[in-house]
Every structure is written in structure tokens, then in C-alpha cells.
Chain A
Amino acid sequence: MKLCIACSAGGHLSEIKQIEEYYKKHKHFFISFKRLDSIELAKQNKVYFVVDPKRNPFDLIHNFIQTFFILRKEKPDAVISTGAGVALPALFISKLMGKKTVFIESFCRIKSPSFSGKIAYNFVDLFLVQWKQNLKFFPKAKYAGAVF
């Protein structure tokens, strides 16, 4: 099984790294944008850098195109994401390609859902929240604990 791990650099990347013991058992690659921590990640892992859409339509289209070619080349079986916007095209395109999609709502989301979470919730196959109280925003989601 090959995994695509799509996430923003920063906190989202820190969160997904907490389940490294799981994803490193499988072939995997990352999609993220360039920052100090993702550049460091690229020293030991396969990382594709794409444009961060930052809620800008032109950057979003650019990201879609980049992501499409990455997914076409890599052909992952599933995409796992902790958000944010940079990962939405990867999740969406993968879903259209019939791949399994997993979204993990951020550890820092307690009293309100994230923007990317609200969008991903509509189409991903498995939506996980890290705080039980978030089930009220995402009733079809599952709570299985946090990454920490």
C-alpha cells in the first residue's frame, strides 16, 4: 500500500509526524509547502512541494494542477491529511480517482471546526476528530483519541 500524506508545514506537519510509526511501515510520500520544517523533512522523506492556496483562487488552481500530476505519477492507494488548505486538492482528486481518503481534524480545534475540515468533511471517507466535543460539528466523524 502506498500512502500520500498531504499537510501544511508547521503544526499540521508536527501532528501527522506523531503517527510516523504507522506510515513509515508503508511506502509513502508527502505533499506540503516549503518551510523550514518541511525542508528538513525532505532530507529523509520523499516530499513534493506545492503552492499553498491560502484561500486565493489562482494559487488554488496552481495547487490543483501540481497535485494532479504528482498523484498521477505516484498513484497512492490512500491519502491521509491533517489539513489545511494545501491538502484539499490532494484529497479531492484522490477521491475522484477512487482512492481512500482520511482527514484528521487538528489537535488545536476544540470549540470550532477548521475551514479545511469543514470542506473535507463533505467528501472524505474517514474523518477523525481529536477531541470528543468536535463530534457535535462533525456528527459522522469518529473519535479515536488524539495524536498525543
Chain B
Amino acid sequence: MTGTHNQGFDRLIKAADDPSKQTKEKFLIQTGNSEIKPKNCEWKKFFTPLDLEKKIQESSLVITHAGAGSIINCLKNKKPTVVVPREKKFNEHVNDHQIELAEILDKEGKVVLCRNLTELEKKIKEAKNLTIPKQNNKGIIKEIELFLGE
């Protein structure tokens, strides 16, 4: 998943579309605002939120850019997740905050970070051993409830 960000993410698409990769599983690529068109995999530029959620649910693993919404969507649906942050130096984003998010979630054992796409297949294998965390929004809801009085 490359998300809806207005810059492309050719690097990830090329890696996912690489015909020489060993992984036997079928790949579906959401290309977003990238110009590149995959040649070896099923792909679509964008899905509606409902369809995207369905595709995530049908997948055994998701490789995603490090958008907060995208990552949360994967974890909520209990999918092993490999996160490839968009990087400013490759013109994939305006800053490097995706790297920060991906690093901290990788450190917490919730996702597997992949910055070097030559390691993608290795990271896919690692992700399959992850314990997917459960959502815990109770604290923040309680704080808001307390403050607003209901």
C-alpha cells in the first residue's frame, strides 16, 4: 500500500513487482500517486476505504508505507505488517517523520521495518512471526470523557 499521499513511491512498487522475488504468494499493489505501472502483479491506483479494508482482510500480510492510518488499518485487522517508510531523500515525502514512526513501532515489536528494499523478502519472513498488538484506545477515550463530562 502506498497510501494517498501526493508523491509517488516507485521504489516500493518496483520491489513488490520484481519478477525475480522468491515469495510465491500473490501480490496486490495499491500504487497511489506513483506514475509507474506494475507489470507482474495485479494493481490499482486507489481503493475506496471499504474496499481497501476488504483487501487488507483478504491478505496474509501487508507491506505498507508508514502512514499512521495505513499502519493502524493493518494492525486493527491483525495482519503481519512490513512498513517501508517514505523518505525525503528519495522525494517520497516532504520530511522523514514516516521513518520515526516506523522505527518506534518496529522497536516495540508491532511491525517490521524495511528501509532497504533488497531485504524485503527477509522482512516478510520476519513479519510472519510477529505478535499483532490489540487496539487499546481506552485511555484516551476515558480522558476525553472525563474532560467533557460525558
- Taking A36-B48, A108-B97, A109-B97 as contacts, is the C-beta distance between A145 and B148 under 8 angstroms? no
- Some 13 contacts from A to B, beta carbons below 8 A apart, are A10-B69, A13-B69, A14-B70, A19-B141, A22-B145, A36-B46, A36-B48, A100-B148, A108-B67, A109-B97, A110-B101, A125-B147, A144-B142
Judge whether B137 and A147 touch: CB under 8 Å. Answer: yes
| A78 close to B (CB within 8 Å) | yes
Secondary structure type dominating chain A contacts: loop
A1-36 interface with B by 8 A CB criterion? 1, 10-11, 13-15, 18-19, 21-22, 26, 35-36
Secondary structure type dominating chain B contacts: helix
Judge whether B104 and A145 touch: CB under 8 Å. Answer: no
| In-complex Cβ contact of B135 among A22, A110, A148 (8 A) | A148
| A130 close to B (CB within 8 Å) | yes
| B138 close to A (CB within 8 Å) | yes
Bound CA span A96–B48, Å = 37
Binding site for B on A (CB under 8 A): 1, 10-11, 13-15, 18-19, 21-22, 26, 35-37, 40, 77-78, 80, 100, 102, 104, 106-112, 125-126, 128, 130-131, 142, 144-148
Bound CA span A14–B69, Å = 5
